[in-house]
Amino acid sequence: MKNQNTKIRIKDIATMAGVSEGTVDRVLHERGEVSEKSREAVQKVLDEINYSPNLLARSLASKKHYHFACLIPMHKVTDYWESVEKGFSQAAIDYLHYNIHIERKYFNQFDANSFVDVSKELVKSQPDAVIMAPIFRNETLAFTKELQQLEIPFSFIDSMIEDADFLTYYGQNSFQSGYIAAKLLLNSLPDAAQVLVLRTDRKGAVSNQTIARINGFMSFVSENKLSNIELIHLEMNDENEDANREILSDVFSKNTNIKAAITFNSRVYRLANHLEILQHADVRLIGYDLLQKNVDYLKQDIVSYLIAQRPEKQAYFTIRDMCAKLIQKQSITKINYVPIDILIKENIEDYMQFGE
């Protein structure tokens, strides 16, 4: 019941405080050049009434331009990161008249040097704020340190490095999502069932997120003392699909009781495809993220569950919060875990439709 905005304008405040509109403006924006006497008079009125500025008028009148730079992995249009980009685009549209400009920069997520190079370029364009996916821990820390010296605020998306002094983080609680994946996947499996646990080799680059997800997964397993099932860990190759199929074929010939499988990234569609070809389509599958191919397999009942994390929202809200913080000086929440959405064949349709 507090937000009772009775439409008080700057003009009114000026009258009440017995000063000019310009003075009120100076107090509001802490521009200085105000005598202590009139500052107090204005502040008093400001505290009494519950002034909330007309944001429409404010951004209409404001001449300031804001330049946000986004630093995310380069990707194909079918990839997870494309959803993130959609969020940026939507924010760019919605906040168009706030005079914001969103610049995108891409790095190779399998090459830390690429991140370093692109981040250096990025600084040159002197952005007002930076949004990045902190895939490489050390390189990110070096970069954020530089940003801090330049007094450029930054936010993390998708994953987070706690040591850095970021503005916001939007992303999933990865540990928890691995835990949930385990619960869904291992729930009431027959005795002595075998479960494939797949990782993807990334040329030595370690993804924080994947590790956290696996930890969550294993945590569920040990907490529930699932001694009746057998986990089979496999390493997939990110490029050589024939080799992958070979590996899988091999595993299935040696193990006849495989009932379930999980990938900790968005590549479950590949697994589904292999199993389809190898005629093991009845294995319970679970994976992450709503790539079109994943969704297709979910609808065909070949994938049983997908876990989603609202990537568009992550991107959109990150921009929104930057506007709130930088332009409107509002306070924002630092760490924002997005919901861990459980998608099955039956609820995927409405979920996708509803979009944002």
Partner DNA sequence: ATATTTTCTGTGTACGCACACGAAATTATT
Partner DNA sequence: AATAATTTCGTGTGCGTACACAGAAAATAT
Nearest distance in Å: CB 3, a copy of itself: 6
Whole-number Å distance between alpha carbons of 257 and 254: 9
**Binds DNA (CB under 7 A): choice among 36, 191, 242, 356:** 36
Considering the complex, state which of residue 245 and residue 345 has its C-beta at the smaller distance from a copy of itself: 345
Instruction: Give the residue with the Cβ less far from DNA, 53 or 339.
Output: 53
Report what 215 binds from DNA, a copy of itself, none; CB cut-off 5-8 Å by kind. none
Residues of the shown chain interacting with a copy of itself in the complex, contacts defined by CB under 8 A? 3, 5, 54-57, 59-60, 93, 96-97, 172-173, 176, 179-180, 183, 187-188, 336-342, 344, 346-347, 350-351, 353-354
113 SS3 class = helix
Distance CA 135, CA 110 (A): 9
54 contacts DNA (rule: CB under 7 A): yes
Among 40, 48, 57, 201, binds DNA (CB under 7 A): 57
User: Cα–Cα distances in Å, from 195 out to 86, 179, 210, 332?
Assistant: 35, 15, 18, 42
Q: How is the chain split among helix, strand and coil, in percent rounded to 5? A: 45, 20, 35
- Of 51 and 351, nearer to DNA (C-beta) is 51
Cα(158)–Cα(179) distance, integer angstroms = 18
Two tokens, residue 265: 């990234």
Nearest in space to 70 (alpha carbons), one of 259, 322, 334: 322
Long-range Cβ contacts of 54-61 (<8 Å, 24+ apart): 54/9, 55/328, 58/328, 59/97, 59/98, 59/99, 59/327, 60/97
Q: Which stretch binds DNA (CB under 7 A): 20-28, 117-125, 279-287, 290-298?
A: 20-28
Q: Nearer to DNA by C-beta: 25 or 139?
A: 25
Q: Does 75 bind DNA (CB under 7 A)?
A: no
> In this chain, which of 20, 138, 224, 255 binds DNA, going by CB under 7 A?
20
CB nearer to DNA: pick between 63 and 124: 63
In sign, the C-alpha dihedral spanning 287, 261, 350, 180 is: negative
Residues in contact with DNA, shown as a per-residue x/- string from 279 to 318 under the rule CB under 7 A = ----------------------------------------
Q: How far apart are CA 275 and CA 264, in angstroms?
A: 17
Q: What are the residues binding DNA (CB under 7 A)?
A: 7, 9-11, 19-23, 25-26, 28-29, 32-39, 53-54, 57-58, 60-64
